[in-house]
Structure 1
Amino acid sequence: MNSIWLHPELSDEIMKDEEIFNRTPSIILDIVAQKLDITKLVENMGKVLTNSEATNRLKGMRFFTKILKEMPKNYLTEIQVNFISKFYIDRLKDHHSIIPAVLDGYSAIIEMVNYKMENCGEFLVALFREVSCQSQVRQDRYNIYLIIKTLMEKNLDYMKNLGPDFVYGVISAIEGERDPRNLMFLFNFLPHFISNIPLGHLNDEMFDVVSCYYPIDFYPSSDDPAAVTRQDLAKALAPCLCATPSFGEQCLILLIEKLDSSLRLAKIDSLHLLRETCATFKPESYAPFLKTLWASIHRELTNKSDDELRMAAHEALSSLVKNISVTVNTDQAFENFVKGIIISMQTAIAEATTLAQFTQATRVLLTTANASKESCIIVTNSMIPATIAYYSFNNTPKLQHAAIEFLGDMYDIAKYWKATQELASQLDEIPQLCLTAVSQTSKEFQIAGLKTLIRVLPVLKSDLIVPFVEVLIHNVKHAQDNDLLSVSVEAVHAIAMKYPEEIMSLVLKGKCDLEHLTEDKVGLDKRLNLLCNLASIDEFTKIIVEEMLTIITKNKDDADKVVKALSASISNTSLYSQEKVTQIESDYGLVDSVIIWLLKEIADTTAPESLAHGYSLVATTISNLPEAKQIAILDKHTQNILERCKEDEVYFLMLESLYNSLHQSVHNSSFHEVMMLALNLSLRSEQEIIRSTACILIAHFLNKAEYGAKFEVLYETLKTYLSSCNKENIDSMCVRLISLYGWITKALILRGSDMFLFWLQKIMVALLNPECCSEGAKAIKLILSYSPDCLTDKQHCRISLLYRQRMFQTFAQLTEKLSNMDKRVKEAYLLSWAYILEKAPKSVLNSEAFKIAPLVIESLEHDHQDLLLVMVDILCHIIQSNQVVIAGSLQTILPRLVKLSTYVKSMDVRIKSLQCLYEIANVYSTTLLLPHKQDMLLDLAPSLDDKKRLVRNMAVRARTRWYLIGAPGEAKEN
């Protein structure tokens, strides 16, 4: 049998022995080595290829096709490829059973480098004449479609010249296709075909073939692992229906017909299709249908219950307006269309009695205006005067507030389209209406007016500055509402950005009288807040900051208020950029002034926490500085503060504020001494605030230390010190050590270091000890919790993105074989799991449901409010994802949830338990739930009389859902 392919006996071997198919690689090697010519191979196969039995001919074609598919694409010459191509074309006339091998083989031929497109014309003629595509099996139909697609990709120009016979052949081939996978292939390919191949007189036939699938009503089989969804098919079909402008009239008639049907999916598909058409259809295509289209879209825009349908209508309207807006100077149809929308919405606004009705109408106008610059000008020109008039005659406060906000929305759109110059006369009216609202005594009117004023500030004229400032400064001095005070300060800041000289005169030298700021004690905090806000503006920085620092260094009584205001403002990154903070520190020495003030105040205070704003201001300022400036500040102040710490440990709070926001690369000679002091205080200080601050600083050092020698020295220092502490017999040391272990673990896991495992194991030892298990659970909580003041990127810390997943996996491994726990230990263990699961990503909860569910179910038996709140919430998520593990545990879960639905200690636990019961009834199959129905209806009755309204509402929802189980038409199956 050795090299039998070199002899005519090859045909006999193919007919009688399937093993020959495994030897094709050897044949190809001989062909490439020129031991065998491809034409000689065909000659040797002549007996099998021309055999009278179709089954034998099929074997021959399969064998030769396999060789072609494995052959190098660039080996065969043009003559050889032409010869094989003609041979395969001739085989299309053979028995129908041979066609699959022919198609498979020709797919390989057209991939050959030396394949000439002239061969495909004859092939396609024979293919369409001899092969009825829809009579073939799914894979063979797919191969036909793939051949056509590949040929078009190979030489589109040649395919364009094949004429109407080619188009007709494609239409005949695809007509009647029903397989969803083939349809997905066709729908993705046909837009390219339709838009590039001249359809000629077959334009209507092509549209009919494609449109027969619209709208898609296919639903995949539930047991198909790679099912094509209805949504996939619908999304792919839409571009086919509008692939060429010549489909315009037919497509629009079709989508209008379906848009007016009662089928929800048909409406959604039609709206999506309308949006899709706007990418290819010319504006004039829509002219005869605009009135009908608006009526259909308008109906869906006012849908009150279906958000998806309403959103699709907004998207379709936007696309339509954008498409036809190009005709604004040549065709009256666009302007009439937009004006028709305005008239309809003006009527809706005038008749609106609720905020929802008003908002629904204005959203349509905003969608229209946002579609194009031309529509923006038309809508804004009409609606700004109309809205101002509406505000005047309408006496409903909520609708007036909404009208003011609507004016701001229209300004934003005009600004986006750079149409403010064309609309200047209308836009100039908005600030005047804002002043009318701001001048009222109602807080709601003032806030609405000020928020819109801030948005439209570029069109504020100077003659309105004085009346606005009068109102705003009155608010700053006397407002008791934080929201009104905040927006008033923001408005003054915005006006100052546009008119700095006027605000300097009216506010700094007038209303707030900066030079005598502290003489008027009434509302000093609020005025300081305003001034610190204004200090972020370059024109105001020098005069305000210098005065603030003068007060800090010389005025003991009011300095703390200034520090508090500066701390709040400088921490606001939208006001103070890094560059701005660096500039202030460089020009005025902010940190030095605050440290001097702190050193004086610490000596006189008995409550260190009262100076928290000073520490925060130092830390925030340093965090914004470059490395060189940070090092200079450390070198200047560290030794002095360390000396003071020897006298009073409260000075350590200053040290922590200097060191907790450093860049990762910053290091100086004092680090070791600071670290040792922090370690000592973290375990031996009697003040909780000092101990926790020391732990935080240690965590920052560990997290930010650069990889290499610096980190290793720091880590060894830590381990050596704690080893010596473990030998001491101090009653309080155990609790403090566990807390420190928590901070060390947090710092290491956040930076992605494997060393966290060593410290987590120490926490696990505590967690399994009845005497300190609660402290172990607190340490786990600390590791997973987030605080804006420590171990964040704002303080230049290293933050591993997947540290929560890593904590979950590690904790699961460490606790995998735990059993026979003490009751106290068990509760602490479950509480630790609750803290981990609460922060775990939803993807982890879904993938590990079988591991998590037993822990959650067991937790429902414990009387611990924090544990129950988290675990019931986790249970609700697992139920919503329809996990099988819950379905198998209903006999245990339902009684426990019923018991918790009357849990006296927490309303939230009762609500979440009832929500779980609702979700169970809503998710799992009727056959599974029906045996529990009657018991649940009785058990849920007491919650209907709960003293809290929110609990009663959820009880009604849950009980109603259980009541509907088994009702006609309700049955659900998994």
Structure 2
Amino acid sequence: MTSAWFKPELAELIINHGDIFNETHSIIADIVSGHLDIADLVENMAGVLTNKEPENREKGMRFYTKILKELPRDYLNDMQVKFISKFYIDRLKDNHRVVPPVIEGYSVLIDMSEYNIQNCTDFLTILFREVTCQSQTRQDRYNIYVIIQKLCNKDIEYLKSLGSDFVYGVITAMDGERDPRNLVFLFEFLQNFIKIFPLGHLAEEMFDVISCYFPIDFHPSNDDPAAVTREDLANSLAPCLCAIPEFADSCIILLIEKLDSNLRLAKIDSLKLLIESCKTFTPQSYSPFLRALWSSLNREMSHKTDDELKTTAHEALGALVAKMASTANTDQDFENFLKGVIISAQSTIADATTVAQFVKGTKILLTAANASNQSCASITRAMVPATVAYYELKTAPKLQIASLDFIGDLYEIANKKGLLDEVKAQITNVPQICLSAVSQTSKEFQMAGFKTLIRVQECLGEDLVLPFVEVLIYNVQHAQDNDLLGISVETIHVIARKYPELIMDLVVKGKCSIDNISQDKIAFQKRLNVLTNLASIDDFTKVIIEEMLKIITANDPEALHVVEALSGSISMASVFTIEKVTQIESDHGLIDPVLDWLYKEISSSSPDALAHGYTLIANTIGSLPPEKQENILIKHTPLALERCKQDDIYFLIIECLYTPLHQIVYNSKFEEIMTVSLQVALKSDKDVVRTKACVLIAHLLNKAEHGQKFELLYEMLKTQLASCNRGDEKLCPRLIQLYGWITKSLLMRGSDVFLFWLQKIVGILATPQYCTHGSEAIKLIMNENTDYLNRKQHCRISLLYKQRMFETFSVLTEKIKSNLSAETKESYLLSWAYVLDKAPKTVLKNEANKVAPIVIDCLEYDNKDMLQVSLDVLCHFVQSNPTAVSDSLQTILPRLIALSKYMKSMDVRIKSLECLYDIANTFRTSTLLPYKQDVLLDLAPSLDDKKRLVRNVAVRARSRWFLVGAPGEEKPN
């Protein structure tokens, strides 16, 4: 076969010897080196290209196309490209078997650097005339679409010069396409094509061709590895239907028609199309249809159970209002439309007897107000006075409270849009209504009044400060409810920022003065909370902090309360910024007096009593820059280590000094700190101290810089742990807990060595004596602890660490499955539950076939935590991947029925009933009918459950099962 391509015998080889297709790389080498001209190659192939059998001519074209695909894109010159183009165009008229390789080859030819766009004229003419696109295979149709796209990308202006014949050819080629992958490609291509090419008299025909797909009614095959989803098709189709203003009337009529149908997906797609159309169509396009559009939108926004439908309808209203607002002050369409929305919503609010009905009307108004400045101003002017009057009518308390929330929402929107000056006359009296609310004895009224005042603080007049302060201070001194106390403190803080001098006189030096503690010790802690909160404001910092530090330094009996108040306020990032904490430490020295106080109190007080002191130290150090942190460590570490040798309770001071450090902070004491931490973690008899030691070890490993520092600490840890006695029954649970912290720390920083420690924990799950400790270690690894290993403490947190834990745990547990006993099975499944609870749902979906049997097994055990996670994952599978559980319904349904009566947890009962509903709403009727009667009978007791929420879900689930197989049942997708 060597060099056969230099001779006419090449044609015979192509016909009879398929091996020649494997020699194309040699042919390419001879062409590129100049030993063979591509025109001569065509001559040598003449016998196969002109063969009387279409099958052989097809082989010839496939061979030539393969040659073309392997040629360098810059090899052919202009004349060669033109010659090959004419050759391929001529082949288009050949037998239908020859057409596919011709289309494929021409697609390659367009990519050649010397391809001239003018070569395409004859090709397109013959293609559209001789080749019926929809008669070709899916791949060949796709290749035709790709050719059209490539030519458009090559020279769009030349193709536009071809006029309506080219556009008509494109329309004809795609008319009737049914393959979802081709349709996604076409829709994405058409989004720009329609905008660029003048359609003229073909606009209506183009719209008809693409609108026949709306709404998308398609569901991918479960065994398709690269399935196109219904959402992919719907999202790419919508921009085509509203690509140009010429489509406006047809598009709006279409979406109104489908919006008024009974199909849920048709409604959602129509709403999304309306949203998309507002990007393209003119406001005048909607004018004739505004009444019909508002009627449909209002209906869908009133839907009682379908949250997605309601949300999409609100988005559509917002888009329509924003579009129409651009005509404000030019014609009456926008004003009339907005007036209709306001009147309709006002009627809903006026007729409301429940908060849900009231909120339905207000949400519509808020959506419209959010859409544009014009609508916001009009709605605020109309609704604030109306809502104030509504509040004063003394309607039901819950509706009055809801009206306050509505006023606050409108104010925030107006403020965000910079319209407060325009609506100043309407909002002036809002603080007075807030004062009326907070003056009542009801907690609910006071909470609502304070929340609204916080939102409308800018319009609070000086004359109302004193009345508000009187109510606020009374709450601080006498209120027992924590929520009311919290909002009262926040309100004082807000007023202080606007009127600092008044609050200084009335509160800091007046009713909440620290000097008055002997007169009212009962309210002392509450007043401290107010003062520490106010200390974050520059005008108050010096006065308050210095007074509080005097109490701490003097070792006053009330120092404990001062520290608690400071800790609580400084830990609130919304009140004390990092910069503010740093400023307080620099100007007033917070750490030294608090540490001195801790040393004096630590031996006589419980760790819980001093917990706020440790937290205050940690939060303050964590806010400081690295260089200041290093200075504090140098100053305080020696004494802390010395005291820790005497009593490990002093380790709590070491922990609060070292856990909040920046990653770059490192000194010569770190190795000693690691050693001390290990000793305390394994030997201390105090639970809280051992836990803190584990936490510090985790922080040191997590934050140590990559390289020598990390390796030094890690090897020290492994070496010291290797010498531990695993036979010590007292030591083993402590080791397992430490393994959990080490694994969590390393996993979160993205270090591969976490696998070594996780293997130890997984192995423990198969041991009856310690399997429960192993499952607790897995729980520790997966749980997000707000106090440790977080970004506030400058820890490294890998974005995908939970996904990595799931994948690794899944592999490791395969090795112990065969070693599980009845004693260890529950701990094994509980560990899985902890992992599944935190694993991303997308990851679970990909591993559904593996996870589903584990979840089903979990339903047998009397463990509330495990049951809640398992039911949640099972519901997810039923909705997103029903095939994973379809074969196990015979097992699943009885277990769900049993759990619907699980008296230890209302949440478990509700979730099991929701899962039963999802099953009835998802699987085919033929699959469910064998179970229908048994499920209906077994669900009856849940209708009489003692909890109303359970009864509601039970009614919904049982009603759906009643409909299984009923005439007219809407089949699940």
Question: Which AA in structure 2 matches 1:245?
Answer: P
Secondary structure, counterpart of 2:159 in structure 1: helix
Question: Which AA in structure 1 matches 2:280?
Answer: T
TM-score (norm 2): 0.90
Q: Residues 98-137 of structure 1: CA distance to partner in whole angstroms, max 9, x if unpaired?
A: 4334333332332222222223233333333444444444
Which of 796, 799, 819 aligns to 1:798? It is 796
Question: Which AA in structure 2 matches 1:453?
Answer: L
- Provide closer, same or farther for how the CA distance between residues 742 and 341 of structure 1 changes in structure 2, counting only shifts above 3 A: closer
Counterpart mapping for 1:344-493 below 5 A: 344-393=344-393, 395-493=395-493
- Larger mean CA deviation between 288-297 and 351-360 belongs to 288-297
Counterpart in the other structure of 1:80: 80
Q: Residues 212-256 of structure 1: CA distance to partner in whole angstroms, max 9, x if unpaired?
A: 433444555566554444443333222222222222233333333
- Provide closer, same or farther for how the CA distance between residues 499 and 849 of structure 1 changes in structure 2, counting only shifts above 3 A: same
Distance in 1 of aligned mates of 2:591 and 2:776:
35
Q: Is the 8 A contact 1:882 1:924 kept in 2?
A: no
Counterpart in the other structure of 1:171: 171
Residue 524 of structure 1: CA displacement?
A: 1.3
Q: How many residues align?
A: 972
Residue 84 of structure 1: CA displacement?
A: 2.9
Corresponding position: 1:270 with 2:279: no
Corresponding position: 1:154 with 2:157: no
Counterpart in the other structure of 2:611: 612
Q: Is the 8 A contact 2:897 2:912 kept in 1?
A: yes
Counterpart mapping for 1:920-959 below 5 A: none
- Provide closer, same or farther for how the CA distance between residues 336 and 115 of structure 1 changes in structure 2, counting only shifts above 3 A: same
Counterpart in the other structure of 1:65: 65
Secondary structure, counterpart of 2:83 in structure 1: helix
Question: Which AA in structure 1 matches 2:618?
Answer: A
- Provide closer, same or farther for how the CA distance between residues 916 and 192 of structure 1 changes in structure 2, counting only shifts above 3 A: closer
Question: Which AA in structure 1 matches 2:797?
Answer: I
- Larger mean CA deviation between 522-531 and 379-388 belongs to 379-388
Residue 704 of structure 1: CA displacement?
A: 3.2
Counterpart mapping for 1:538-937 below 5 A: 538-554=538-554, 556-603=556-603, 605-719=604-718, 721-722=720-721, 726=725, 732-756=730-754, 759=757, 770-808=768-806, 809-810=808-809, 813=812, 816-817=815-816, 824-843=823-842, 845-848=844-847
Counterpart in the other structure of 2:189: 189
Distance in 2 of aligned mates of 1:768 and 1:168:
70
Q: Residues 556-590 of structure 1: CA distance to partner in whole angstroms, max 9, x if unpaired?
A: 12111111100000011111121111111111111
Q: Is the 8 A contact 1:882 1:923 kept in 2?
A: no
- Provide closer, same or farther for how the CA distance between residues 327 and 870 of structure 1 changes in structure 2, counting only shifts above 3 A: closer
- Larger mean CA deviation between 450-459 and 62-71 belongs to 62-71
Q: Is the 8 A contact 1:89 1:123 kept in 2?
A: yes
Q: Residues 807-826 of structure 1: CA distance to partner in whole angstroms, max 9, x if unpaired?
A: 55358526724656665455
Corresponding position: 1:37 with 2:37: yes
Counterpart in the other structure of 1:238: 238
- Larger mean CA deviation between 322-331 and 876-885 belongs to 876-885
Question: Which AA in structure 1 matches 2:430?
Answer: I
- Provide closer, same or farther for how the CA distance between residues 428 and 713 of structure 1 changes in structure 2, counting only shifts above 3 A: same
Distance in 1 of aligned mates of 2:948 and 2:591:
52
Residue 715 of structure 1: CA displacement?
A: 4.3
Q: Is the 8 A contact 1:68 1:105 kept in 2?
A: yes
- Larger gyration radius, structure 1 or structure 2: 1
Question: Which AA in structure 1 matches 2:384?
Answer: I
Question: Which AA in structure 2 matches 1:153?
Answer: N
- Provide closer, same or farther for how the CA distance between residues 126 and 659 of structure 1 changes in structure 2, counting only shifts above 3 A: closer
Q: Residues 506-536 of structure 1: CA distance to partner in whole angstroms, max 9, x if unpaired?
A: 2212232344455432411111111111111
Q: Residues 369-411 of structure 1: CA distance to partner in whole angstroms, max 9, x if unpaired?
A: 2112222222222222222222222512222222211112112
- Larger mean CA deviation between 754-763 and 269-278 belongs to 754-763
Q: Residues 304-354 of structure 1: CA distance to partner in whole angstroms, max 9, x if unpaired?
A: 343333323222222222222222232232222222222222222222222
Secondary structure, counterpart of 2:410 in structure 1: helix
Counterpart in the other structure of 1:252: 252
Q: Residues 953-972 of structure 1: CA distance to partner in whole angstroms, max 9, x if unpaired?
A: 66666666666666566698
Q: Is the 8 A contact 1:518 1:558 kept in 2?
A: no
Question: Which AA in structure 1 matches 2:165?
Answer: D
Q: CA RMSD in A?
A: 3.6
Question: Which AA in structure 1 matches 2:693?
Answer: A
Q: Residues 396-430 of structure 1: CA distance to partner in whole angstroms, max 9, x if unpaired?
A: 22222222111121122222222222222223232
Distance in 2 of aligned mates of 1:138 and 1:760:
49
Q: Residues 890-947 of structure 1: CA distance to partner in whole angstroms, max 9, x if unpaired?
A: 6666666666666666565566566666666666666666555666566666666666
Counterpart in the other structure of 2:337: 337
Residue 277 of structure 1: CA displacement?
A: 1.8
Q: Is the 8 A contact 2:848 2:881 kept in 1?
A: no
Distance in 2 of aligned mates of 1:191 and 1:882:
32
- Larger mean CA deviation between 219-228 and 692-701 belongs to 219-228
Question: Which AA in structure 1 matches 2:358?
Answer: F
Residue 591 of structure 1: CA displacement?
A: 0.8
Question: Which AA in structure 2 matches 1:620?
Answer: N
Residue 669 of structure 1: CA displacement?
A: 4.2
Distance in 2 of aligned mates of 1:822 and 1:136:
60
- Larger mean CA deviation between 500-509 and 707-716 belongs to 707-716
Distance in 2 of aligned mates of 1:675 and 1:960:
62
Distance in 2 of aligned mates of 1:724 and 1:146:
67
Q: Is the 8 A contact 2:65 2:102 kept in 1?
A: yes
- Provide closer, same or farther for how the CA distance between residues 293 and 920 of structure 1 changes in structure 2, counting only shifts above 3 A: closer
- Larger mean CA deviation between 757-766 and 514-523 belongs to 757-766
Percent identical across equivalent pairs?
62
Question: Which AA in structure 2 matches 1:796?
Answer: H
Question: Which AA in structure 2 matches 1:489?
Answer: V
- Provide closer, same or farther for how the CA distance between residues 267 and 790 of structure 1 changes in structure 2, counting only shifts above 3 A: closer
- Larger mean CA deviation between 607-616 and 651-660 belongs to 651-660
Q: Is the 8 A contact 2:698 2:745 kept in 1?
A: yes
Distance in 2 of aligned mates of 1:283 and 1:863:
61
Distance in 1 of aligned mates of 2:878 and 2:176:
43
Distance in 1 of aligned mates of 2:731 and 2:49:
91
Residue 597 of structure 1: CA displacement?
A: 1.7
- Provide closer, same or farther for how the CA distance between residues 326 and 599 of structure 1 changes in structure 2, counting only shifts above 3 A: same
Distance in 2 of aligned mates of 1:402 and 1:300:
22
Counterpart in the other structure of 2:128: 128
Distance in 1 of aligned mates of 2:111 and 2:191:
23
Question: Which AA in structure 2 matches 1:621?
Answer: T
Question: Which AA in structure 1 matches 2:635?
Answer: K
Q: Is the 8 A contact 2:11 2:44 kept in 1?
A: yes
Secondary structure, counterpart of 2:36 in structure 1: coil
Q: Residues 49-106 of structure 1: CA distance to partner in whole angstroms, max 9, x if unpaired?
A: 4555555544444443333333332222222322333343344444444433433333
Question: Which AA in structure 2 matches 1:521?
Answer: K
Residue 279 of structure 1: CA displacement?
A: 1.4
Q: Is the 8 A contact 1:926 1:971 kept in 2?
A: no
Q: Is the 8 A contact 1:849 1:883 kept in 2?
A: no
Q: Is the 8 A contact 1:925 1:971 kept in 2?
A: no
- Provide closer, same or farther for how the CA distance between residues 100 and 807 of structure 1 changes in structure 2, counting only shifts above 3 A: closer
- Larger mean CA deviation between 320-329 and 511-520 belongs to 511-520
Counterpart mapping for 1:475-514 below 5 A: 475-514=475-514
Question: Which AA in structure 2 matches 1:274?
Answer: L
